[in-house]
Amino acid sequence: MDPNGKCALVTGGASGLGEATVRRLIDHGAKAVIVDLNEENGQALADEYPEAAAFAQCNVTVAEEVEGAVESAVSRFGRIDILINCAGMGAAERTVGRESPHDLKRFKNTVAVNLFGTFDMIRQAAFRMAKNEPDEDGGRGVIVMTGSVAAFDGQIGQASYAAAKAGLVGMTLPIARDLSSLGIRICTICPGVFDTPLLAFVREDIRERLAQAVPFPKRLGRPDEFAQLVDQIIRNPYLNGEVIRLDGAIRMTPK
């Protein structure tokens, strides 16, 4: 699918991987709806592209807000062709701490944002995509989920995060099969250590240690490198049901 002239819904689109994806897609002629909790950043990004972008504030764990974001995309641009799920959150807590066991509410919330919120956005956006006229291959839409290398190499304290991201990996193929009759493709990208706002508050020595753990190239990933892969998935009609690690060959240590 050529993104030129298409409408993309990007969750977590106000910063980091999502922002880079929004910018790249718009640069290639797409329209974008930036879905994020952060109204200030999301609206500021949309204001940079007044003809090509819109902002929809949304908590992906609230079904009514997810539906509202999907409807706002259809209302503004008439259709949805592409869904990029970048909304997510990290968490760090051992299964058993010194004073108490893992906080169950925090575990549930991490899974709700990363896994349930992603699936809710997929089901609602795909329902809209199914109404599109098919292209020459019968394609009606493309979906990308953002997993993590934690799905395979979860570190100490990452039980909730790794479980949520592994859930995305596990549902990639079933959803691809579910949506195949509708002409909608889906893939999952599993990034390694990327230079995003999440790492902006990490001490420089820790950032450098993370960079040096990458076999090659020995640096943090750049958000636009994630966006490049999104673009390639969108354009390649034979990429479907695939999980792709984007990590410079890193394999995370226990801690």
What confidence score (pLDDT) does residue 111 get?
97
Q: With pLDDT > 90 as the criterion, what percentage of the chain qualifies?
A: 93
In the predicted model, what is the mean pLDDT of residues 212-228?
A: 96
pLDDT surpassing 80 at residue 202: no
Q: Which of 104, 96, 101, 117 is nearest to 160 (CA)?
A: 104
Out of 55, 77, 107, 161, the active site residue is 161
Per-residue pLDDT reduced to its tens digit, 102-111: 999 999 999 9
Can you give the pTM of this predicted structure? 0.96
CA–CA separation, 70 and 151 (whole Å): 28
What confidence score (pLDDT) does residue 198 get?
75
What DSSP letter does each residue of 63-103 carry, written as one string?
HHHHHHHHHHHHHHHS---EEEE---------SB-SSSB--
Question: Helix-strand-coil percent breakdown of the chain, rounded to 5?
Answer: 45, 15, 40
238 carries an active-site annotation: no
CB 184 within 8 A of CB 1: no
The residues spanned by each domain of the chain are 7-245
CA–CA separation, 231 and 21 (whole Å): 8
What confidence score (pLDDT) does residue 182 get?
98
- In CATH, the number for domain 7-245 is 3.40.50.720
CA–CA separation, 232 and 252 (whole Å): 26
Confidence tier at 205 by pLDDT (50, 70, 90): confident
